[in-house]
Amino acid sequence: MLALVGSGEYLPPMEPVDRFLIGRLPGPARVACLPTAAGTEGPERIGYWNDLGVKHFGELGARVEAVPVIDRASADDPALAARIRNANFVYLSGGRPDYLYQTLNGSLAWEAIQAVLAEGGMLAGCSAGAMVMGERIAGFLRPSPAFGLLPGSVIIPHYDEVPEWVVRGLKPLAAGGLTVYGIPAYTALVVDQHNLPQVSEPARGSFQVVGRGPVTVWGKDGRQRYFKD
């Protein structure tokens, strides 16, 4: 399962969303919080994300730990990768999407995350963590590579804060064959990986909206909005 969150990770309004995600796990929740996207922001900010994630999921009854993957060396640390591998719910919090992708791509940490997914676990990402799950990361000049867990897509978090001129700029991406998902705060787009072949051509049955919503989907045929069930 994938959960792409617009913004607001670990905050009280996300409690019903994360309770829903925990309920989709194959067993008791074992959460690994990765502050990787904030790895350039210094120890104080990294500590903030670690403490917030542990407190949030601990209050939801999960077994949770922060795994300090913050740079390429830690992403290739076998001991840290083993800690990720022991989780069934990995959470990538916000920061810089390009740094997150470059740090994890081809690393032992990313191999461990893929193993969690292969065994039916959950990968959630908020803001930058959501952006790297698409096919490409939207940028000012041109889209850059992402992990492609959601094929043919570009993820736009904080969509409720995006100005109209930026929204208009999404149309060329959709016209070029990419599907653009705009996800607002305290909202998750939840995708079962078994449905990924359908997601590149949006259909209501291929994903679920959880939280405040709505999720806006730009495709070749225009814009659609999907609300929570």
Residue-wise pLDDT tens digits, 37-82: 999 999 999 999 999 999 999 999 999 999 999 999 999 999 999 9
Domains of the chain: 2-131+185-211 (3.40.50.880)
Q: What confidence tens digit (pLDDT) does each residue in 153-207 have?
A: 999 999 999 887 777 777 777 767 889 999 999 999 999 876 654 444 444 457 8
Question: Would you state the pLDDT for residue 61?
Answer: 97
3-state secondary structure of 129: helix
Q: Residue with structure tokens 């990768």?
A: 81
Token pair for 137:
């990361």
122-126 and 2-5 as β-strands: parallel, antiparallel, unpaired? Answer: parallel
Mapped onto helix, strand or coil, the DSSP state of residue 196 is helix
Where is average pLDDT lowest: 12-26, 53-67, 96-110, 134-148?
134-148
Side-by-side strand order, sheet with 222-226: 144-145, 136-137, 153-156, 179-182, 215-219, 222-226
Single pTM value for the model: 0.93
What integer best gives the mean pLDDT of the chain?
A: 91
